[in-house]
Amino acid sequence: MAVAKKGKKKAAPGDVATNRQAGYRFEFLDKLECGLVLTGTEVKALRTGSAQIKDGYANIERGELWLHNVHIPPYGPASRDNHDPERPRKLLATKPEIERLMGRTKEKGLTLVPTRLYFKGPRAKVEIALARGKDRFDKRETIKAREQQRDMQRALREANR
């Protein structure tokens, strides 16, 4: 019997941070890639790969998309000119995308959740998902479906031996 690996699971190559917990807590309806407006020290701190988006969320204020509660730690060598780690950051999206999200988030129970933070070439990007919170029953159903899928894969592997 195989023993599970210990330690933190690594993000996909190129990802700075992933929000794996969001898939458990929310049902994703739609995803959107947005650019981030960052300062120089934030970009350097992101390149070290130590950002945290677990508690993050996005909302629309005065026709602009903003990212809140995303922690980008201070960059060590820039001691005096550092950024505020928890400051709200503006997201770059087109006007029609923002208007579409504004209409959809007015529906009951829908929110905007960051799922990935990554670099695409020299630019920092964040993937936000339009999501609906799961009930406890839905979470149990997700776990049950995942276990059934795992059992089927295991049975297929055994049959192919």
pTM for the whole thing? 0.70
- Residues 79 and 137: their CA atoms lie apart, in Å, by 48
Q: Which domains does the chain have, with CATH numbers?
A: 15-134 (2.40.280.10)
Bridge partner residues of 43 (DSSP): none
Sign of the torsion angle spanned by Cα atoms 103, 106, 108, 114: positive
Q: What is the pLDDT of residues 87-119, one digit of tens each?
A: 888 888 888 888 888 888 887 778 888 988 888
11: pLDDT strictly greater than 70: no
Q: What is the pLDDT of residues 28-66, one digit of tens each?
A: 888 889 888 888 888 888 888 788 888 888 888 888 889
